[in-house]
Amino acid sequence: MSPERVWTVLRGVMAVVILAAVVRQLAASIASALEYGRDLGVTVANFFSFFTILSNVSSAIVLTWAVVWFLTRGRDAGGERRREPRALAIALVSVTTYMVITGVVYNILLRGVELPQGSEPVPWSNEVLHVVAPLFLLADAFVAVRRRPLPWRDTLWVLGFPIAWVIYTLVRGPLVTDPTIGPGYWYPYPFLNPNNPGLVPPGYAGVAVYVVGIAAAIVVVAYGVVWVGRRRAPVDRPVHADR
């Protein structure tokens, strides 16, 4: 089996593992909600409001897309290898960036943060979503073949989802009652909660500091992933482009 086929298989396996981890954690969250009499609808909505969950689900979808493309469009009618289409390349850069940020933010800011009773993560699922999957996506940028070199301006596409998510989170936060402890707000992460007494400066100013810092990190990582693709491009020059 060729190296590109091996990596394609690994992409497919990783997509399945990520989805299994998400489903397992969702099942645990639903079970806890039922056990403690919490609002099930709010619990599920909150679950899919975490950047980690959305990033992992998006990664599984994009990895699956990459596998399907390789198997169905990986070669032209003459049997020549094609490079991945631009849309897929942008999607891969995006999910790689999100997953790297997920891994870094979790392991620096959130690992060890005490959670309300009944909200504890499933250990193996937690590690897949915050460690294994981010490392795999990072490796994908360096190892996967047929990566298309992108122009620098395409990094702007990466910012779309995080901006929309932050707006959604800050608008929704004060409108939702936390089903675990009951105050009149809910935010997926403590650094986005303007009511968090640990924020410096306090309130929305503290939230803004974290948002700007993480946004800057997203830009840096996105440029880094695009840079890797551009550096690797000369190795794959014989591959035809697929639009």
Interval 87-111: pLDDT, tens: 999 999 999 999 999 999 999 988 8
For residues 180 and 116, is the Cβ–Cβ distance under 8 A? yes
What local confidence, expressed as pLDDT, does residue 118 receive?
58
What local confidence, expressed as pLDDT, does residue 241 receive?
47
For the segment 77-88, what is each residue's pLDDT rounded down to a tens digit? 555 677 889 999
Whether 74 has a pLDDT exceeding 80, the answer reads no
For 41-101, give the DSSP string: HHHHHHHTTSHHHHHHHHHHHHHHHHHHHHHHHSB-TTS-BEEPPHHHHHHHHHHHHHHHH
pTM: 0.90
What local confidence, expressed as pLDDT, does residue 80 receive?
65
Domain boundaries, the chain: 3-241
For residues 18 and 126, is the Cβ–Cβ distance under 8 A? no
Share of the chain above pLDDT 90, in %: 75
> What's the mean per-residue pLDDT of the chain?
90
What local confidence, expressed as pLDDT, does residue 237 receive?
47
Share of the chain above pLDDT 70, in %: 91
